Amino acid sequence: MMTQTPRLTDETALAHARARAARHGDVGAWFLHHDAIDEIKERLIDVNRTFTEPAIVTGAPQIWGPAFPDAHIVPDTDQLDLTPGAHDLVIHAMALHWANDPVGQLVQARRALKPDGLLLCVAFGGQTLRELRAAMSEAEAAEMGGLSPRVAPMGDIRDLGALLGRAGLALPVADVLTRAVTYRDLTHLIGDLRAMGETNALADRHKTPPKRGLFPRAAHIYSQAFPAEGGRIQATFELAFLTGWAPSADQPKPLRPGSATARLADALGTVEYTETSYPPPETT
């Protein structure tokens, strides 16, 4: 009998959280998405290519749609509504941490690309909300005698970068931007997460209300362990950017070992030593 793959996300809870955030209308709470949009636009300028058939995969169409008015916007469902080979650019925008199958998401995005089409993915990296994770874990251990899933898992840059190769993308590049933010208190931080639709929608989360003392204890632990100026608290957000290209015969290929026509030592202006030409060791 086949076993069903465990699901990371409760899609109903996530849709509810996102709908509430869209109704909320707090423009300031979406600052991380706006940071990601600005960075994506800068990277597209650096690519120096005109893209005429872009698509964007996102759970926040009200933010990404106006920023890229010519793009085809699709939700980040398990099966992406993308036509194979139809796009020269696909942007996977701030949703990969909720994906039940992150590799599958990137594979589908790659299949939607034309040859030599570009995939740009921006997602929360592994250091995101590290302070909140630590404070909540300590508070839960004290108040409830154990831990429950409260923050969606986010891969580190090495793991996220490896997804590009597994998805069959060429010329993969992965890097991060880290933003340190301060909040008045834990309630203020959670309010921003709620306004972004980023509250707990994990399938394995505890469905019962937490003990009354959990969040006050977490707030105290947070303020003591991660203080910022003026009695505020600090929070880390990490944006991971993944770049890859759909394979094409026109793309540059790495040289075969031993086929180089120029010496690295000449390019660097240094002396190249062979096994028999090293200078003798100094004696005392």
Q: Are 119 and 113 in contact (CB under 8 A)?
A: yes
pLDDT over 70 at 258, yes or no? no
Grade residue 143 by pLDDT with cuts at 50, 70 and 90: confident
Handedness of CA 242, 247, 248, 252 (dihedral sign): positive
pLDDT over 70 at 268, yes or no? no
pLDDT over 90 at 83, yes or no? yes
Cα separation of 30 and 195, whole Å? 8
Mean pLDDT score, 217-225: 97
Domain residue ranges of the chain, discontinuous segments joined by +: 11-128+153-187+236-268
| Number of neighbours of residue 281 by Cβ within 10 angstroms | 5
Q: Are strands 87-93 and 54-58 parallel, antiparallel or unpaired?
A: parallel
> Which two tokens mark 46?
């650096």
- CATH tag for 11-128+153-187+236-268 (out of 3.40.1010.20, 2.40.440.10, 3.40.50.300, 3.40.50.150): 3.40.50.150
pLDDT over 90 at 92, yes or no? yes
* Predicted local distance difference test score (pLDDT) of residue 152: 61
The model's pLDDT over 171-200, given as tens digits with 9 standing for 90+, comes to 999 999 999 999 999 999 999 999 999 988
Classify residue 97 by its DSSP letter.
G
> Which two tokens mark 70?
């010519």
